[in-house]
Structure 1
Protein backbone atom coordinates (compact mmCIF):
# COMPACT_ATOMS: atom_id res chain seq x y z
CA UNK A 1 0.00 0.00 0.00
CA UNK A 2 1.35 3.41 -0.96
CA UNK A 3 1.67 5.89 1.88
CA UNK A 4 -0.20 9.17 1.48
CA UNK A 5 2.08 12.08 0.55
CA UNK A 6 3.28 14.38 3.29
CA UNK A 7 1.38 17.64 2.85
CA UNK A 8 3.37 20.87 3.10
CA UNK A 9 2.17 24.43 3.63
CA UNK A 10 4.77 26.88 2.31
CA UNK A 11 4.89 30.23 4.12
CA UNK A 12 6.79 32.82 2.11
CA UNK A 13 5.72 31.04 -1.05
CA UNK A 14 6.67 33.78 -3.53
CA UNK A 15 10.21 34.28 -2.27
CA UNK A 16 13.23 32.70 -3.93
CA UNK A 17 13.38 29.82 -1.49
CA UNK A 18 9.62 29.38 -1.36
CA UNK A 19 9.30 29.05 -5.12
CA UNK A 20 12.17 26.57 -5.36
CA UNK A 21 10.74 24.45 -2.55
CA UNK A 22 7.38 24.41 -4.33
CA UNK A 23 9.10 23.24 -7.53
CA UNK A 24 10.77 20.39 -5.64
CA UNK A 25 7.52 19.42 -3.90
CA UNK A 26 5.89 19.13 -7.33
CA UNK A 27 8.67 16.75 -8.41
CA UNK A 28 8.51 14.54 -5.30
CA UNK A 29 6.30 11.44 -5.11
CA UNK A 30 6.13 11.54 -1.32
CA UNK A 31 5.17 15.23 -0.96
CA UNK A 32 2.18 17.39 -1.83
CA UNK A 33 1.63 21.12 -1.58
CA UNK A 34 -1.25 21.86 0.79
CA UNK A 35 -1.05 25.65 0.83
CA UNK A 36 1.00 28.54 -0.53
CA UNK A 37 1.07 31.47 1.89
CA UNK A 38 2.39 35.00 1.76
CA UNK A 39 1.81 38.39 3.35
CA UNK A 40 -1.59 40.10 3.49
CA UNK A 41 -1.94 42.53 0.62
CA UNK A 42 0.31 40.59 -1.75
CA UNK A 43 -0.76 41.60 -5.28
CA UNK A 44 -1.07 37.98 -6.45
CA UNK A 45 -3.31 36.67 -3.67
CA UNK A 46 -5.87 34.28 -5.10
CA UNK A 47 -3.77 33.36 -8.13
CA UNK A 48 -2.55 29.79 -8.66
CA UNK A 49 0.98 29.38 -7.30
CA UNK A 50 2.01 26.97 -10.08
CA UNK A 51 2.72 29.52 -12.83
CA UNK A 52 4.53 31.75 -10.31
CA UNK A 53 6.93 28.85 -9.77
CA UNK A 54 7.27 28.18 -13.51
CA UNK A 55 4.95 25.16 -13.31
CA UNK A 56 1.55 24.22 -14.64
CA UNK A 57 -1.43 25.12 -12.50
CA UNK A 58 -1.33 23.23 -9.20
CA UNK A 59 -4.80 24.11 -7.96
CA UNK A 60 -3.29 25.87 -4.96
CA UNK A 61 -4.09 29.60 -4.75
CA UNK A 62 -1.75 32.02 -3.02
CA UNK A 63 -3.34 32.90 0.34
CA UNK A 64 -2.53 35.08 3.32
CA UNK A 65 -3.66 32.58 5.97
CA UNK A 66 -3.74 28.84 6.50
CA UNK A 67 -7.36 27.74 6.21
CA UNK A 68 -6.91 24.06 5.40
CA UNK A 69 -4.87 21.19 6.81
CA UNK A 70 -1.16 20.50 6.45
CA UNK A 71 1.18 17.90 7.92
CA UNK A 72 4.08 20.38 8.19
CA UNK A 73 4.57 24.11 7.64
CA UNK A 74 7.84 25.34 6.13
CA UNK A 75 8.52 29.02 6.76
CA UNK A 76 10.88 31.12 4.66
CA UNK A 77 9.13 34.45 5.00
CA UNK A 78 9.95 37.49 7.12
CA UNK A 79 10.22 37.92 10.89
CA UNK A 80 6.66 39.30 10.80
CA UNK A 81 5.49 36.36 8.71
CA UNK A 82 7.09 33.87 11.08
CA UNK A 83 5.52 35.54 14.11
CA UNK A 84 2.12 35.30 12.40
CA UNK A 85 2.26 31.65 11.29
CA UNK A 86 3.92 30.16 14.38
CA UNK A 87 0.95 30.56 16.79
CA UNK A 88 -1.34 29.10 14.12
CA UNK A 89 0.87 26.01 13.94
CA UNK A 90 0.94 25.74 17.74
CA UNK A 91 -2.86 26.02 18.01
CA UNK A 92 -3.35 23.31 15.36
CA UNK A 93 -0.50 21.04 16.41
CA UNK A 94 1.33 21.38 13.08
CA UNK A 95 5.12 20.81 13.04
CA UNK A 96 7.02 23.92 11.96
CA UNK A 97 10.29 24.23 10.04
CA UNK A 98 11.69 27.78 10.19
CA UNK A 99 14.36 29.08 7.84
CA UNK A 100 13.55 32.78 8.18
CA UNK A 101 16.53 34.86 9.28
CA UNK A 102 16.70 38.24 10.98
CA UNK A 103 14.56 37.28 13.99
CA UNK A 104 15.10 39.61 16.94
CA UNK A 105 15.77 38.03 20.37
CA UNK A 106 12.25 38.66 21.70
CA UNK A 107 10.30 37.13 18.80
CA UNK A 108 12.80 34.28 18.59
CA UNK A 109 12.28 33.49 22.28
CA UNK A 110 8.50 33.53 21.72
CA UNK A 111 8.97 31.15 18.81
CA UNK A 112 11.19 28.77 20.76
CA UNK A 113 8.62 28.55 23.57
CA UNK A 114 6.19 26.98 21.12
CA UNK A 115 8.38 23.86 21.14
CA UNK A 116 6.45 22.89 24.28
CA UNK A 117 3.44 22.40 22.03
CA UNK A 118 4.74 21.35 18.60
CA UNK A 119 7.83 19.87 16.94
CA UNK A 120 9.96 22.86 15.95
CA UNK A 121 13.13 23.01 13.87
CA UNK A 122 14.82 26.38 13.40
CA UNK A 123 17.95 26.52 11.28
CA UNK A 124 20.10 29.29 9.89
CA UNK A 125 20.91 27.05 6.94
CA UNK A 126 19.40 23.76 5.74
CA UNK A 127 22.24 22.73 3.44
CA UNK A 128 23.80 19.45 4.54
CA UNK A 129 27.24 20.67 3.50
CA UNK A 130 26.88 23.93 5.44
CA UNK A 131 25.92 22.01 8.56
CA UNK A 132 29.00 19.85 8.12
CA UNK A 133 30.96 23.12 7.81
CA UNK A 134 29.51 24.28 11.13
CA UNK A 135 30.58 21.03 12.76
CA UNK A 136 34.10 21.33 11.33
CA UNK A 137 34.38 24.97 12.43
CA UNK A 138 33.53 23.95 15.97
CA UNK A 139 36.14 21.21 15.92
CA UNK A 140 38.82 23.47 14.42
CA UNK A 141 38.12 26.23 16.93
CA UNK A 142 38.26 23.75 19.80
CA UNK A 143 41.62 22.34 18.68
CA UNK A 144 43.26 25.62 17.68
CA UNK A 145 41.84 27.57 20.61
CA UNK A 146 41.86 31.33 21.15
CA UNK A 147 45.37 31.61 19.71
CA UNK A 148 43.77 31.48 16.25
CA UNK A 149 42.46 34.74 14.78
CA UNK A 150 38.99 33.86 13.50
CA UNK A 151 37.38 35.84 10.70
CA UNK A 152 34.13 34.99 8.88
CA UNK A 153 33.42 36.35 5.41
CA UNK A 154 30.04 35.83 3.75
CA UNK A 155 28.80 36.85 0.31
CA UNK A 156 25.20 36.92 -0.90
CA UNK A 157 23.05 38.42 -3.64
CA UNK A 158 22.35 42.13 -3.66
CA UNK A 159 18.69 41.60 -2.70
CA UNK A 160 19.36 39.99 0.69
CA UNK A 161 17.84 42.14 3.41
CA UNK A 162 19.81 41.16 6.52
CA UNK A 163 23.54 41.26 7.23
CA UNK A 164 25.49 39.39 8.28
CA UNK A 165 23.67 36.27 7.19
CA UNK A 166 22.08 33.96 9.72
CA UNK A 167 24.59 31.31 8.69
CA UNK A 168 27.54 33.63 9.36
CA UNK A 169 26.13 34.48 12.78
CA UNK A 170 25.67 30.80 13.56
CA UNK A 171 29.24 30.02 12.45
CA UNK A 172 30.45 32.80 14.76
CA UNK A 173 28.42 31.38 17.65
CA UNK A 174 29.83 27.89 17.06
CA UNK A 175 33.41 29.19 17.02
CA UNK A 176 32.83 31.45 20.03
CA UNK A 177 31.38 28.63 22.08
CA UNK A 178 34.39 26.43 21.29
CA UNK A 179 36.94 29.04 22.43
CA UNK A 180 34.91 30.56 25.25
CA UNK A 181 34.65 34.01 23.69
CA UNK A 182 31.89 36.57 23.28
CA UNK A 183 33.89 39.21 21.40
CA UNK A 184 32.36 39.91 17.98
CA UNK A 185 33.22 42.76 15.61
CA UNK A 186 31.24 43.54 12.46
CA UNK A 187 33.75 44.88 9.97
CA UNK A 188 36.56 47.29 10.84
CA UNK A 189 37.27 50.89 9.90
CA UNK A 190 39.76 53.49 10.98
CA UNK A 191 42.39 53.25 13.70
CA UNK A 192 41.06 50.18 15.51
CA UNK A 193 44.30 49.20 17.24
CA UNK A 194 45.82 45.77 17.71
CA UNK A 195 43.47 42.82 17.32
CA UNK A 196 42.34 41.57 20.75
CA UNK A 197 42.73 37.88 21.54
CA UNK A 198 39.53 35.90 21.11
CA UNK A 199 37.90 38.44 18.81
CA UNK A 200 35.79 37.03 15.97
CA UNK A 201 35.30 39.24 12.92
CA UNK A 202 32.28 39.11 10.61
CA UNK A 203 32.21 40.65 7.14
CA UNK A 204 29.27 40.79 4.70
CA UNK A 205 29.49 41.27 0.93
CA UNK A 206 26.46 41.83 -1.32
CA UNK A 207 27.05 41.21 -5.03
CA UNK A 208 24.93 40.24 -8.02
CA UNK A 209 22.81 37.11 -7.69
CA UNK A 210 25.20 35.08 -5.52
CA UNK A 211 23.16 32.42 -3.62
CA UNK A 212 25.69 32.28 -0.79
CA UNK A 213 29.32 31.77 0.16
CA UNK A 214 30.83 31.42 3.63
CA UNK A 215 34.51 31.23 4.55
CA UNK A 216 35.88 30.88 8.07
CA UNK A 217 39.53 31.86 8.43
CA UNK A 218 41.71 30.61 11.29
CA UNK A 219 44.86 32.72 11.23
CA UNK A 220 47.91 31.47 13.12
CA UNK A 221 51.50 32.63 13.21
CA UNK A 222 53.09 31.22 10.07
CA UNK A 223 50.01 29.43 8.73
CA UNK A 224 46.33 29.78 7.98
CA UNK A 225 43.38 27.39 7.79
CA UNK A 226 40.31 28.28 5.72
CA UNK A 227 37.05 26.33 5.71
CA UNK A 228 34.59 27.31 2.99
CA UNK A 229 31.23 26.49 1.46
CA UNK A 230 29.93 27.84 -1.83
CA UNK A 231 26.35 27.38 -2.97
CA UNK A 232 25.98 26.97 -6.73
CA UNK A 233 22.20 27.42 -6.53
CA UNK A 234 19.45 27.16 -3.90
CA UNK A 235 18.80 23.44 -4.31
CA UNK A 236 20.93 22.39 -1.35
CA UNK A 237 19.00 24.71 0.96
CA UNK A 238 15.60 23.76 -0.46
CA UNK A 239 16.21 20.00 -0.39
CA UNK A 240 17.51 20.29 3.16
CA UNK A 241 14.34 22.10 4.24
CA UNK A 242 12.21 19.34 2.74
CA UNK A 243 14.33 16.71 4.50
CA UNK A 244 13.74 18.65 7.72
CA UNK A 245 9.98 18.54 7.09
CA UNK A 246 10.10 14.78 6.51
CA UNK A 247 12.17 14.38 9.68
CA UNK A 248 9.85 16.52 11.82
CA UNK A 249 6.59 14.86 10.76
CA UNK A 250 5.34 12.57 13.51
CA UNK A 251 7.87 13.75 16.09
CA UNK A 252 6.71 14.72 19.60
CA UNK A 253 6.78 18.40 20.60
CA UNK A 254 10.28 19.75 21.20
CA UNK A 255 13.23 21.65 19.74
CA UNK A 256 15.02 19.86 16.94
CA UNK A 257 18.04 20.84 14.89
CA UNK A 258 19.88 19.93 11.71
CA UNK A 259 22.39 18.17 13.96
CA UNK A 260 19.56 15.82 14.98
CA UNK A 261 18.61 15.21 11.35
CA UNK A 262 22.19 14.64 10.16
CA UNK A 263 23.40 13.00 13.39
CA UNK A 264 26.37 15.30 13.61
CA UNK A 265 28.53 14.97 16.67
CA UNK A 266 26.59 11.98 17.90
Structure 2
Protein backbone atom coordinates (compact mmCIF):
# COMPACT_ATOMS: atom_id res chain seq x y z
CA UNK A 1 0.00 0.00 0.00
CA UNK A 2 1.18 3.53 -0.73
CA UNK A 3 1.24 5.82 2.28
CA UNK A 4 1.99 9.44 3.11
CA UNK A 5 3.12 10.54 6.57
CA UNK A 6 2.42 13.91 8.17
CA UNK A 7 4.63 14.77 11.14
CA UNK A 8 8.35 14.13 11.45
CA UNK A 9 9.07 14.72 15.13
CA UNK A 10 10.47 12.05 17.43
CA UNK A 11 7.49 9.72 17.04
CA UNK A 12 7.00 10.51 13.35
CA UNK A 13 10.61 9.57 12.62
CA UNK A 14 10.22 6.27 14.47
CA UNK A 15 7.03 5.50 12.54
CA UNK A 16 8.74 6.42 9.25
CA UNK A 17 11.55 4.00 10.07
CA UNK A 18 9.06 1.16 10.61
CA UNK A 19 7.21 1.99 7.37
CA UNK A 20 10.47 2.11 5.40
CA UNK A 21 11.41 -1.34 6.67
CA UNK A 22 7.99 -2.90 6.01
CA UNK A 23 7.39 -4.97 2.88
CA UNK A 24 3.68 -4.07 3.09
CA UNK A 25 4.09 -0.33 2.60
CA UNK A 26 5.68 2.15 0.25
CA UNK A 27 6.32 5.47 1.95
CA UNK A 28 5.73 7.98 -0.84
CA UNK A 29 6.27 11.23 1.05
CA UNK A 30 6.62 12.84 4.45
CA UNK A 31 5.42 16.34 5.39
CA UNK A 32 7.18 18.07 8.26
CA UNK A 33 6.51 21.43 9.88
CA UNK A 34 9.63 23.21 8.66
CA UNK A 35 11.06 23.57 5.16
CA UNK A 36 13.37 20.84 3.90
CA UNK A 37 16.30 22.17 1.83
CA UNK A 38 16.97 19.98 -1.19
CA UNK A 39 13.94 17.76 -0.52
CA UNK A 40 16.00 14.99 1.05
CA UNK A 41 14.24 11.70 1.51
CA UNK A 42 13.14 10.45 4.91
CA UNK A 43 15.28 7.34 4.36
CA UNK A 44 18.39 9.46 3.83
CA UNK A 45 17.56 11.60 6.86
CA UNK A 46 17.12 8.53 9.07
CA UNK A 47 20.04 6.58 7.63
CA UNK A 48 17.78 3.77 6.43
CA UNK A 49 18.49 1.89 3.19
CA UNK A 50 15.24 1.88 1.22
CA UNK A 51 13.92 2.17 -2.32
CA UNK A 52 10.86 4.09 -1.10
CA UNK A 53 10.55 7.62 -2.53
CA UNK A 54 9.84 8.99 0.99
CA UNK A 55 10.36 12.56 -0.22
CA UNK A 56 10.53 15.14 2.56
CA UNK A 57 8.51 18.35 2.20
CA UNK A 58 7.92 21.32 4.45
CA UNK A 59 4.25 21.97 5.19
CA UNK A 60 4.19 25.26 3.29
CA UNK A 61 6.27 24.13 0.32
CA UNK A 62 3.47 22.82 -1.87
CA UNK A 63 -0.29 22.29 -2.13
CA UNK A 64 -1.60 18.94 -0.98
CA UNK A 65 -3.71 18.46 -4.12
CA UNK A 66 -0.59 18.87 -6.29
CA UNK A 67 1.33 16.38 -4.16
CA UNK A 68 -1.48 13.80 -4.31
CA UNK A 69 -1.68 14.24 -8.06
CA UNK A 70 2.06 13.59 -8.47
CA UNK A 71 2.46 10.96 -5.76
CA UNK A 72 -0.96 9.41 -4.96
CA UNK A 73 -1.40 7.36 -1.79
CA UNK A 74 -3.93 4.89 -0.40
CA UNK A 75 -3.51 6.11 3.15
CA UNK A 76 -2.47 9.26 5.05
CA UNK A 77 -0.96 8.80 8.52
CA UNK A 78 -1.02 11.84 10.82
CA UNK A 79 1.43 12.25 13.71
CA UNK A 80 1.55 16.05 13.52
CA UNK A 81 -0.78 18.24 15.61
CA UNK A 82 -4.46 18.83 16.21
CA UNK A 83 -4.66 21.28 13.29
CA UNK A 84 -2.81 19.02 10.86
CA UNK A 85 -6.12 17.73 9.54
CA UNK A 86 -6.72 21.08 7.84
CA UNK A 87 -3.91 20.30 5.43
CA UNK A 88 -5.40 17.14 3.95
CA UNK A 89 -9.02 16.60 5.07
CA UNK A 90 -10.79 18.00 2.03
CA UNK A 91 -8.59 16.27 -0.54
CA UNK A 92 -8.58 12.96 1.32
CA UNK A 93 -12.37 12.95 1.50
CA UNK A 94 -12.72 13.90 -2.17
CA UNK A 95 -10.28 11.22 -3.30
CA UNK A 96 -11.40 8.51 -0.86
CA UNK A 97 -7.98 8.27 0.79
CA UNK A 98 -8.04 6.45 4.13
CA UNK A 99 -6.75 8.33 7.19
CA UNK A 100 -5.05 7.12 10.35
CA UNK A 101 -4.77 9.86 12.97
CA UNK A 102 -2.68 9.25 16.07
CA UNK A 103 -3.10 12.73 17.51
CA UNK A 104 -3.37 12.59 21.33
CA UNK A 105 -5.80 15.48 21.79
CA UNK A 106 -8.47 16.91 19.49
CA UNK A 107 -11.01 19.62 20.35
CA UNK A 108 -14.60 18.54 19.85
CA UNK A 109 -14.90 20.32 16.49
CA UNK A 110 -11.97 18.34 15.10
CA UNK A 111 -13.48 15.05 16.22
CA UNK A 112 -16.74 16.06 14.53
CA UNK A 113 -14.75 16.86 11.38
CA UNK A 114 -13.18 13.40 11.38
CA UNK A 115 -16.55 11.76 11.96
CA UNK A 116 -18.01 13.69 9.03
CA UNK A 117 -15.11 12.59 6.83
CA UNK A 118 -16.07 9.02 7.70
CA UNK A 119 -19.04 9.41 5.37
CA UNK A 120 -16.63 9.59 2.44
CA UNK A 121 -13.65 7.43 3.39
CA UNK A 122 -12.20 5.21 6.11
CA UNK A 123 -11.05 7.11 9.20
CA UNK A 124 -9.27 5.78 12.26
CA UNK A 125 -8.45 7.96 15.25
CA UNK A 126 -6.43 6.52 18.12
CA UNK A 127 -4.72 8.69 20.77
CA UNK A 128 -2.38 5.72 21.37
CA UNK A 129 -2.06 3.40 18.41
CA UNK A 130 0.14 0.74 20.02
CA UNK A 131 -1.34 -2.75 19.93
CA UNK A 132 -0.50 -3.41 23.56
CA UNK A 133 -2.36 -0.46 25.04
CA UNK A 134 -5.48 -1.20 23.03
CA UNK A 135 -5.42 -4.84 24.09
CA UNK A 136 -5.04 -3.63 27.68
CA UNK A 137 -8.17 -1.48 27.33
CA UNK A 138 -10.16 -4.42 25.98
CA UNK A 139 -9.00 -6.67 28.84
CA UNK A 140 -9.87 -3.99 31.42
CA UNK A 141 -13.37 -3.52 29.99
CA UNK A 142 -14.00 -7.26 30.23
CA UNK A 143 -12.72 -7.43 33.82
CA UNK A 144 -14.95 -4.50 34.77
CA UNK A 145 -17.96 -6.38 33.38
CA UNK A 146 -16.99 -9.42 35.44
CA UNK A 147 -16.37 -7.40 38.62
CA UNK A 148 -18.26 -4.10 38.39
CA UNK A 149 -17.78 -3.32 42.11
CA UNK A 150 -13.98 -3.52 42.11
CA UNK A 151 -12.02 -0.37 42.93
CA UNK A 152 -10.24 0.97 39.83
CA UNK A 153 -7.18 3.23 39.74
CA UNK A 154 -5.43 4.50 36.60
CA UNK A 155 -1.75 5.47 36.74
CA UNK A 156 0.25 6.95 33.87
CA UNK A 157 3.99 7.65 33.70
CA UNK A 158 5.82 9.76 31.10
CA UNK A 159 9.01 11.73 30.51
CA UNK A 160 9.68 14.65 32.83
CA UNK A 161 8.86 17.42 30.36
CA UNK A 162 5.39 16.13 29.40
CA UNK A 163 3.03 18.73 30.90
CA UNK A 164 -0.48 17.44 30.38
CA UNK A 165 -2.29 14.31 31.50
CA UNK A 166 -1.79 11.48 29.05
CA UNK A 167 -4.44 11.36 26.32
CA UNK A 168 -4.23 7.58 26.47
CA UNK A 169 -5.00 7.60 30.20
CA UNK A 170 -8.05 9.76 29.51
CA UNK A 171 -9.24 7.24 26.92
CA UNK A 172 -8.74 4.44 29.46
CA UNK A 173 -10.71 6.40 32.06
CA UNK A 174 -13.56 7.06 29.64
CA UNK A 175 -13.72 3.41 28.59
CA UNK A 176 -14.05 2.39 32.26
CA UNK A 177 -16.51 5.17 33.18
CA UNK A 178 -13.94 6.84 35.43
CA UNK A 179 -13.34 10.57 35.87
CA UNK A 180 -10.16 11.78 34.18
CA UNK A 181 -9.48 14.02 37.20
CA UNK A 182 -8.76 10.88 39.24
CA UNK A 183 -5.88 9.75 36.99
CA UNK A 184 -2.55 9.53 38.84
CA UNK A 185 0.32 11.05 36.82
CA UNK A 186 4.05 10.51 37.30
CA UNK A 187 6.72 12.49 35.43
CA UNK A 188 10.32 11.30 35.57
CA UNK A 189 13.38 11.13 33.35
CA UNK A 190 12.89 9.84 29.83
CA UNK A 191 10.01 7.39 30.33
CA UNK A 192 8.45 6.88 26.89
CA UNK A 193 5.07 5.91 28.30
CA UNK A 194 3.66 3.52 30.88
CA UNK A 195 0.00 2.97 31.80
CA UNK A 196 -1.38 0.80 34.57
CA UNK A 197 -4.94 -0.10 35.55
CA UNK A 198 -5.27 -1.39 39.09
CA UNK A 199 -8.35 -3.42 40.09
CA UNK A 200 -8.74 -3.66 43.85
CA UNK A 201 -10.75 -6.57 45.25
CA UNK A 202 -11.29 -7.43 48.95
CA UNK A 203 -8.79 -10.30 48.88
CA UNK A 204 -6.75 -9.76 45.72
CA UNK A 205 -5.39 -7.14 43.37
CA UNK A 206 -5.14 -7.27 39.58
CA UNK A 207 -2.73 -4.95 37.75
CA UNK A 208 -2.88 -4.54 33.99
CA UNK A 209 0.07 -2.58 32.64
CA UNK A 210 1.62 -1.57 29.35
CA UNK A 211 4.95 0.11 28.70
CA UNK A 212 6.24 1.54 25.43
CA UNK A 213 9.95 0.73 25.35
CA UNK A 214 10.57 2.60 22.10
CA UNK A 215 8.51 4.82 19.82
CA UNK A 216 8.71 2.22 17.04
CA UNK A 217 5.82 0.56 18.90
CA UNK A 218 3.60 3.23 17.36
CA UNK A 219 4.81 2.18 13.91
CA UNK A 220 3.87 -1.45 14.56
CA UNK A 221 0.40 -0.28 15.58
CA UNK A 222 0.13 1.80 12.40
CA UNK A 223 0.92 -1.26 10.27
CA UNK A 224 -1.79 -3.30 11.99
CA UNK A 225 -4.28 -0.46 11.64
CA UNK A 226 -3.42 0.10 7.98
CA UNK A 227 -3.83 -3.55 7.01
CA UNK A 228 -7.21 -3.79 8.72
CA UNK A 229 -8.62 -0.33 7.99
CA UNK A 230 -8.25 -0.69 4.23
CA UNK A 231 -10.48 -3.77 4.38
CA UNK A 232 -13.34 -1.78 5.96
CA UNK A 233 -16.12 0.28 4.46
CA UNK A 234 -16.15 4.06 4.81
CA UNK A 235 -16.67 5.05 8.44
CA UNK A 236 -15.13 6.38 11.64
CA UNK A 237 -13.20 3.71 13.56
CA UNK A 238 -11.09 3.21 16.69
CA UNK A 239 -8.37 0.64 17.32
CA UNK A 240 -10.90 -1.14 19.51
CA UNK A 241 -13.13 -1.61 16.46
CA UNK A 242 -10.27 -3.25 14.56
CA UNK A 243 -9.13 -5.47 17.45
CA UNK A 244 -12.47 -6.75 18.72
CA UNK A 245 -13.21 -9.11 15.79
CA UNK A 246 -9.92 -10.94 16.46
CA UNK A 247 -10.66 -11.20 20.17
CA UNK A 248 -14.23 -12.43 19.94
CA UNK A 249 -13.68 -14.69 16.92
CA UNK A 250 -10.95 -16.53 18.84
CA UNK A 251 -13.08 -16.69 21.97
CA UNK A 252 -16.03 -18.12 20.02
CA UNK A 253 -13.91 -20.69 18.19
CA UNK A 254 -12.27 -21.77 21.46
State the TM-score bracket (shorter-chain normalisation): 0.7 to 0.9
Q: 1:44 aligns with which of 36, 50, 54?
A: 36
Matches within 5 A, 1:23-62: 23-39=17-33, 42-44=34-36, 46-55=39-48, 59=53, 60-62=55-57
Q: Is the CA contact (8 Å cut-off) linking 1:213 and 1:231 kept in structure 2?
A: yes
Matches within 5 A, 1:229-244: 229-244=210-225
Cα distance in structure 1, aligned partners of 2:231 and 2:88: 19
Count residues with an aligned counterpart: 236
Q: Does 1:225 align with 2:206?
A: yes
Cα displacement string for residues 46-75 of structure 1 (whole angstroms, at most 9, x for unaligned residues):
343223323358641223253121110011
Q: Does 1:184 align with 2:179?
A: yes
Residue 159 (structure 1) shift: 4.6
Partner of 1:169: 170
Partner of 1:207: 188
Give the TM-score normalised by structure 2: 0.83
Give the TM-score normalised by structure 1: 0.80
Q: Provide the secondary structure at the position in 1 that maps to 2:147.
A: helix
Aligned CA RMSD, in angstroms, stands at 2.2
Q: Provide the secondary structure at the position in 1 that maps to 2:118.
A: helix
Q: 2:96 aligns with which of 87, 93, 96?
A: 93
Q: 1:153 aligns with which of 155, 158, 168?
A: 155
Cα distance in structure 2, aligned partners of 1:154 and 1:15: 22
Q: 2:117 aligns with which of 109, 114, 120?
A: 114
Partner of 1:193: none
Stretch of structure 1 that moved more, 214-223 or 100-109: 214-223
Q: Does 1:10 align with 2:5?
A: yes
Unpaired segments ≥5 residues, structure 1: 1-5, 177-182, 187-200
Stretch of structure 1 that moved more, 231-240 or 245-254: 245-254
Cα displacement string for residues 144-203 of structure 1 (whole angstroms, at most 9, x for unaligned residues):
21x322211111223546x32222111111111xxxxxx5152xxxxxxxxxxxxxx212
Q: 1:103 aligns with which of 103, 106, 116?
A: 106
Task: Give the number of the structure whose residues are more often helix, by fraction.
Answer: 2
Q: Is the CA contact (8 Å cut-off) linking 2:32 and 2:56 kept in structure 1?
A: no
Unpaired segments ≥5 residues, structure 2: 250-254
Q: Is the CA contact (8 Å cut-off) linking 1:10 and 1:35 kept in structure 2?
A: yes
